[in-house]
Amino acid sequence: MWKPPERIKHPQLEARWPTAAEASSSRLFSPLRLGPVELEQRTWVPAMVPWRASDDGFVTAEILDWYTRFARGRPGALVVEATGIRDIPSGPLLRIGHDRFVPGLRDLVRTVADASGGHTRLLIQIIDFLAVRRRPRPETFFDRYLEITDRHRRSAGDATSDRQVREFLEALPDHALDEILEPRELESLRFGSRERVTDTHLEPIRELPRVLPDLFAQAARRSQRAGFDGVELHFAHAYTMASFLSARNSRSDGYGESLEGRVRLPLEVFRAVRERVGESFAVGCRYLSDDCIDGGSSVEDAIYFGVEFARAGMDFLSLSRGGKFEDAKQPKIGWAVYPYTGRSGYECMPTAISDETGPFGRNVPHVARIRSAVRRAGFSTPVIVAGGISTFDQAEGILERGEADAVAAARQSLADPDWFRKISLGRGQEIRRCIYTNYCEGLDQKHKQVTCQLWDREGLEEPGVKRSADGKRRLLAPDWPPVSSEPTS
Ligand SMILES: Cc1cc2nc3c(=O)[nH]c(=O)nc-3n(C[C@H](O)[C@H](O)[C@H](O)COP(=O)(O)O)c2cc1C
Ligand code: SF4
């Protein structure tokens, strides 16, 4: 993973944990309304892909276990991982692109309701993504993928057939290809080919604005039928909708270039969803406070989008940052490019090795500006912040200063799914605290079942402990409290 050149090692933040009485009168443990839905507290577990769905996208027993574990910590909101809206194979990632996925998702809703005692509101993040191919072996690329053009033929001089052109190119040293191949061809060779929303010469890409509103609306309706409290439209990171919002979107068909053009499809998607699910179902989105790439959207753009989303009637705005393909590292041959390996990936999931600013709450200043612009425009839409938040004082301070309305913690909740509950019970000193190494994110990158290094080797021999596919790691955080005496309230 990319690290800032300064490489300053930041210790964990000092933590002071409140008594149960102080916690119960805090902002963090006060209710928050997301349109038609009320959260009991302003604690939020954002979407995290755990690599536990079946290969054809269904809810599995392991998925139920994963969300049960978070639900037992009783966060105000729990967001189910990015779930694909199309009915196409996408490996062990959850899908919602057909009615056959609804029964499994309904089980998930019931399981979370039982595990949280009805205290947690459950949202599902719905996503569209474009095709990304694995980095090919050079011989495969030249034999099969490269479309031979006159430019290639000219470079091969007296080659008499396309076969000879392919052989000529394959025999060249890598650096010589810089002069011959087009930038996109070089990218396909060195990173694996990747579709972009600007590839409007391809019909399916050109047609995205015609197709996506209905696909999102159908997916949202299925999530409503499954019993979720709401949907989070995934407009963040490296995926289709974020690419429409990005300043790099140069589509000239009215869905790119200007701020109005870039926000047009996201708004059309939202309106189609709202029309399908009505007003009694929470609909919000996750988007970026900053793309964190050269030529990408800035916080000024994000302010404009936030106000427009609020004006359109979204029930919440959840802000992440970075996580783009454009600055990702070159993958190994046979692997797909992973959008959290460059600087923008670092900004999304910052580690303890950082710059002067450090990994804790680096998204907060931008989110505070977005929230105040939304308020100035006359909207009370709740704004959720994530990124390196792991103590009570940090979370409470963010709420007290009006920088956000709810506080999301992904890795801290993975490190200790009971951490919000422990705080509310005045038992904060029992929290297992994230050390922000991104071991978990490394597993995600390898498409391995995600676990936390702080607990995944603990009690492996205990009865009933489920293990990862290689048998080396436990899949879930140990129970809390360890003995059968359940905490009250
Ligand atoms: C293993 C893993 C999987 C993630 N999957 C998603 C996802 O499906 N959708 C999403 O919007 N963010 C995803 N994220 C990003 C988190 O939601 C969060 O924004 C990020 O980790 C920063 O918050 P934190 O510092 O509290 O971890 C993932 C993060 C991790 C560590
Ligand atoms: S592996 Fe655990 S401690 Fe390390 S960053 Fe992930 S959640 Fe935090």
Question: Where does ligand 2 bind, in terms of residues with CB under 6 Å?
Answer: 411, 414-415, 434-440, 452-454
> The domain spanning residue 128 has which CATH number?
3.20.20.70
Question: Residues 331, 152, 154, CA angle at the centre, nearest 5°?
Answer: 155
Q: Are residues 155 and 287 in the same domain?
A: no
323 Cβ closer than 6 Å to some ligand 1 atom: no
Burial of 468 from C-beta contacts in 10 A (0-12 / 13-18 / 19+)? middle
Domain that holds residue 57: 8-133+209-445
Burial of 20 from C-beta contacts in 10 A (0-12 / 13-18 / 19+)? middle
Give the contacts of 391 (CB within 8 A, at least 6 positions apart).
13, 14, 15, 16
Answer whether residue 481 is part of any domain.
Answer: no
**Nearest one of 304, 220, 307, 226 to 270, comparing CA atoms:** 220
Question: Residues 346, 352, 357, CA angle at the centre, nearest 5°?
Answer: 75
Q: Are residues 142 and 129 in the same domain?
A: no
Distance CA 258, CA 250 (A): 9
440 Cβ closer than 6 Å to some ligand 1 atom: yes
Max alpha carbon distance in the chain (Å)?
84
DSSP letters spanning 89-111: --SSS-B-SSGGGHHHHHHHHHH
Could you identify the atom of ligand 2 that is nearest to the CA of residue 414?
Answer: 7
Answer whether residue 410 is part of any domain.
Answer: yes
Q: Are residues 239 and 354 in the same domain?
A: yes
Answer whether residue 427 is part of any domain.
Answer: yes
Distance between Cα 82 and ligand 1 center (Å): 10
**Alpha-carbon dihedral sign for residues 387, 389, 394, 396:** positive
pLDDT of res. 487: 61
Q: Are residues 405 and 321 in the same domain?
A: yes
Query: What is the mean pLDDT for each group of 10 consecutive residues in the chain (489 residues)?
Result: 93 96 98 98 98 97 98 98 96 96 98 98 98 96 95 88 94 94 96 97 98 98 98 98 98 98 98 98 98 98 98 98 97 95 97 96 98 98 98 98 98 98 97 98 95 97 94 96 60
Proximal ligand: closest to the CA of 435: 2
Q: Domain end: 157, 190, 223, which one?
A: 190
Neighbours of 465 (CB within 10 A): 13
Distance CA 395, CA 43 (A): 9
pLDDT of res. 481: 85
450 Cβ closer than 6 Å to some ligand 1 atom: yes
Q: Are residues 345 and 381 in the same domain?
A: yes
Answer whether residue 142 is part of any domain.
Answer: yes
- Beta-bridged to residue 121, according to DSSP, are 77
pLDDT of res. 130: 97
Q: Best mutation site among 353, 454, 468 for ligand 2, i.e. most ligand atoms within 8 A of its Cβ? A: 454
Q: Are residues 316 and 252 in the same domain?
A: yes
pLDDT of res. 159: 80
Predicted TM-score (pTM) of this structure = 0.97
Residue nearest to ligand 1 atom 4, measured at CA: 48
Residue nearest to ligand 1 atom 1, measured at CA: 441
Q: How many CA atoms lie within 13 A of 45 on its CB side?
A: 34
Residue nearest to ligand 2 atom 3, measured at CA: 434
Q: Are residues 258 and 215 in the same domain?
A: yes
238 Cβ closer than 6 Å to some ligand 1 atom: no
Proximal ligand: closest to the CA of 414: 2
452 Cβ closer than 6 Å to some ligand 1 atom: no
- What is the chain's percent helix, strand, coil content, to nearest 5? 35, 10, 50
3-class DSSP state for residue 435? coil
Q: Are residues 185 and 332 in the same domain?
A: no
Q: Are residues 166 and 128 in the same domain?
A: no
Q: Which two tokens stand for residue 241?
A: 């909708």
Q: Which two tokens stand for residue 318?
A: 């959840």
Answer whether residue 197 is part of any domain.
Answer: no
236 Cβ closer than 6 Å to some ligand 1 atom: yes
Distance CA 374, CA 311 (A): 9
Residue nearest to ligand 2 atom 2, measured at CA: 452
Q: Are residues 301 and 164 in the same domain?
A: no
Distance CA 290, CA 301 (A): 8
pLDDT of res. 112: 98
Answer whether residue 438 is part of any domain.
Answer: yes
pLDDT of res. 1: 81
**Nearest one of 119, 124, 34 to 79, comparing CA atoms:** 124
Q: Are residues 270 and 335 in the same domain?
A: yes
Q: Best mutation site among 67, 411, 450 for ligand 1, i.e. most ligand atoms within 8 A of its Cβ? A: 411
Q: Are residues 119 and 257 in the same domain?
A: yes
Cβ pair 109, 226 in contact under 8 A: yes
Distance between Cα 407 and ligand 2 center (Å): 18
Answer whether residue 350 is part of any domain.
Answer: yes
Distance between Cα 152 and ligand 1 center (Å): 42
**Nearest one of 38, 47, 103 to 78, comparing CA atoms:** 47
pLDDT of res. 233: 99
Proximal ligand: closest to the CA of 452: 2
3-class DSSP state for residue 395? helix
Q: Best mutation site among 3, 435, 443, 457 for ligand 2, i.e. most ligand atoms within 8 A of its Cβ? A: 435
pLDDT of res. 163: 94
Number of domains in the chain: 2
Could you identify the atom of ligand 2 that is nearest to the CA of residue 439?
Answer: 1
Answer whether residue 469 is part of any domain.
Answer: no
